[in-house]
Amino acid sequence: MRLAALLPALALGLAACASTPPDAVRGSGDLGVVIERAAGRVQIVEHSHDSRLGTVAGLGDLSHAHVAFSRDGRYAYVFGRDGGLTKVDLLTRRIARRIVQAGNSIGGSVSQDGKLVVAQNYEPGGIKAFDADTLELLADVPAEYAPGKFSRVVGLADVPGQRFVYALFDADEIRVTDFSDPRKPVTTRYPAGKQPYDGLVTPDGRYFLAGLFGEDGVSLLDLWKPEAGVRKILSGYGRGEEKLPVFKMPHLRGWSLAAGQVWLPAVGHHEVLIADAGSWAETGRIPVKGQPVFVMARPDGRQVWVNFAFPDNEWVQVIDTVERRVVHTFSPGKAVLHMEFTPRGEHVWLSSRDSNRVSIVDTATFAVIKELPADAPSGIFFTARAQRIGF
């Protein structure tokens, strides 16, 4: 009799144990995702104690994978090369939803209100908006630039007003799509420079910068005065120098602003370019060890960290933004693909694909704090991105 009364409670208890990891009741502000690209798997990590919490597999082709986060920091939207879009629950460490939304995709972003997830695609060229809860398709915005011709989309960034800015590699354009009415998006087109390869917005969401592959320079659109159109900055930065073959495209994002300047990778040159973030005039160049891929400011802007394209990709250099010189050069491992700072920048996590590890480095002393094993890791993404414009 007493046992019979206990059984339902016992069953409930067991069910709770089966579905909820013991540490599921926790905050999400210190969580992150490490991409294990070849395995189609992500690690879920936390940076309060620098540990791995678990893995989630079955995410498809994760070469060039990108991650955006829900505004509550609970879900990671993982964009795979094969068009897979997977919503991963970081607390239960399970796949919440998964769709295949394109043939070839390179990333995506979340809207200002957190309700839309927008993917940027190479095939079919364009962007698509999904309901952030259900991943239901709300709008398909093809990047058609001539009848029947669709461009690959790069540099997608969310900006205030439910808008997304992006560039068209094949059509030399910047576009702004307004999803205020998610099922009836409105797109505005702006002619830009030749072959934009990636883009970024400044942390206030005001300026969109598209790096150019087809010419030396950067296209700039002021989103507070879009009617003024696109202007070119850092024009002809490679003048008089031989452009080297580019073995990996650089990547841009809103971490480029530091100490009132933007710090950008030169394409085909062993240099970091500096421009004033008010006048946009070039103010300097820093010679570095190879062709920069990520030029990433520490959140306080006092340092800029740089990694490099093949074959110099074992190196990382740190620039002091006041002294404007390289103050540290080191190798955390082979094929360093990505870096991610903790939200206030005391540590940086670096992935070394060919050393199968993630190194956690103190940004003040440059000491390696810890190394975590990972299977050919590439991107590292912390949930603090959820609270930033343009990530």
Partner 1 sequence: MDRSLLLHVAVLLGLTAIAVGTAQSAEAPQPEPARQKALVHMVRQDCGSCHGMRLTGGLGPALTPERLAAWPDDSLVATIIHGRPGTAMPGWARFLNESEAGWIVARLKHGFPPLD
Choose the binding region for partner 1 from 47-55, 56-64, 70-78, 155-163 (rule: CB under 8 A).
56-64
Nearest approach, Cβ of 248 to partner 1 (angstroms)? 5
Inter-residue contact 250 to 288 (CB < 8 Å): no
> H-helix or E-strand containing 200?
strand 196-201
Nearest approach, Cβ of 65 to partner 1 (angstroms)? 10
C-alpha torsion sign, points 17, 18, 19, 22: positive
Q: What is the dihedral of CA 341, 361, 379, 198, to 10 degrees?
A: 60
**Token duo for residue 302:** 């006092």
Does residue 270 interact with partner 1 by CB under 8 A? no
Which of 26, 38, 98, 133 contacts partner 1 by CB under 8 A? 38
> H-helix or E-strand containing 303?
strand 303-308
Inter-residue contact 165 to 223 (CB < 8 Å): yes
Does residue 127 interact with partner 1 by CB under 8 A? no
Pick between residue 28 and residue 63 the one whose CB is nearest to partner 1.
63
Which of 137, 246, 326, 369 contacts partner 1 by CB under 8 A? 246
C-alpha torsion sign, points 256, 262, 265, 267: positive
Q: Is 73 in a helix, a strand, or coil?
A: coil
Identify residues 153-182 at the interface with partner 1 (CB under 8 A): 169
Does residue 81 interact with partner 1 by CB under 8 A? yes
Does residue 354 interact with partner 1 by CB under 8 A? yes
Pick between residue 154 and residue 286 the one whose CB is nearest to partner 1.
154
Does residue 338 interact with partner 1 by CB under 8 A? no
Dist CA 56 CA 47 (whole Å): 18
Q: Which residues contact 387 (CB under 8 A, 6 or more apart)?
A: 71
Which of 55, 63, 92, 235 contacts partner 1 by CB under 8 A? 63
Q: What is the dihedral of CA 58, 59, 60, 62, to 10 degrees?
A: -130
Does residue 224 interact with partner 1 by CB under 8 A? no
Nearest approach, Cβ of 122 to partner 1 (angstroms)? 6
Q: Nearest CA to 385 among 30, 63, 97? A: 30
Does residue 248 interact with partner 1 by CB under 8 A? yes
Nearest approach, Cβ of 215 to partner 1 (angstroms)? 13
Give the residue carrying structure tokens 């970081």.
90
Nearest approach, Cβ of 216 to partner 1 (angstroms)? 15
Pick between residue 163 and residue 338 the one whose CB is nearest to partner 1.
338
User: Using CB under 8 A as the criterion, which residues of the chain lie in contact with partner 1 when the complex forms?
Assistant: 37-38, 61, 63-64, 81-82, 104, 106, 122-123, 152, 169, 195, 197, 213, 245-249, 310-311, 335, 353-354, 376
